[in-house]
Structure 1
């Protein structure tokens, strides 16, 4: 299965926020720089993550975002279910008309079951457990954050 670009950016943003030192607020620009994605894409992801209840946002000159407890417990499967905008994993429509086999289509049902199996497997992966020091230290140095890294599990 392939996830969409929006879901990919959102997962990477959660990973960066999960690895940030406890209490640290990261601006959307800092997260965008950390994940190597344009600001406007990350901004949309941050708005959606806030609406889903995974991050807290403080406004103002010294504001930013941080992962909240719900975000720390979120699994990859859970987040992808919320962010997957595709109604159908199979392309059942063409520019000219719907597929003539669309009613009672066994392929659509099989593809939906496969997608759910994909998410179910990812329900075992807690996003905040994914970042590790070798990965995050250079990322944090690149955005001017302290180079030390404390594993997400130790931040609780």
Structure 2
């Protein structure tokens, strides 16, 4: 299975926030720099993560974002379910309209079950447990911060 680019950026942003020192706030720009993604993409991801209650945001000159208590417990599977905007795992639409085989299609059903199995497997992986010190220390040094791991 493949996740979409928005989900990828969102998961990477959560990992950076999970690796930050307890109580510290990270700006969207520093997160964008840490994950190597343009600011506007990260900004949209941060807005969605805030809407999902996974991050807390403090505004102002010294503001930034941090993981919320829910964000510290959320699993990869839970995040992907929230961010997956596809209705079908396959494109069941042809240039002339819906696929003529769409009625009673067993392939769509099988692909939907496979996607759910993919998410169920990822329900065992807590996002905040993913970042490690060896992985995150150079990233935080690059953006001029210290990892909290």
- TM-score of the pair, normalised by structure 2: 0.98
Q: Deviations over 1:73-92 (max 9, x none)?
A: 00000000000011100110
Tell me, in whole angstroms, the C-alpha distance in 2 between the residues paired with 1:43 and 1:50.
Answer: 11
Which ranges of structure 2 fall in alignment gaps of 5 or more residues? none
Show structure 1 runs of 4+ deviating over 6 A. none
**Residue in structure 2 matched with residue 60 of structure 1 by the alignment:** 60
Report matched runs for 1:3-152 at 5 Å: 3-146=3-146, 149-150=148-149
Tell me, in whole angstroms, the C-alpha distance in 2 between the residues paired with 1:16 and 1:149.
Answer: 10
The answer to whether the Cα contact below 8 Å between 1:75 and 1:124 also exists between their aligned partners in 2 is yes
CA-CA distance at 1:27 after TM superposition: 0.3
**Aligned-residue RMSD, C-alpha:** 0.8
- TM-score of the pair, normalised by structure 1: 0.94
Tell me, in whole angstroms, the C-alpha distance in 1 between the residues paired with 2:29 and 2:103.
Answer: 46
Q: Deviations over 1:20-43 (max 9, x none)?
A: 000110000000000000000000
CA-CA distance at 1:58 after TM superposition: 0.4
Tell me, in whole angstroms, the C-alpha distance in 1 between the residues paired with 2:42 and 2:62.
Answer: 19
Tell me, in whole angstroms, the C-alpha distance in 2 between the residues paired with 1:50 and 1:102.
Answer: 37
The answer to whether the Cα contact below 8 Å between 1:32 and 1:42 also exists between their aligned partners in 2 is yes
Which ranges of structure 1 fall in alignment gaps of 5 or more residues? 151-156
CA-CA distance at 1:95 after TM superposition: 2.2
Tell me, in whole angstroms, the C-alpha distance in 2 between the residues paired with 1:70 and 1:129.
Answer: 13
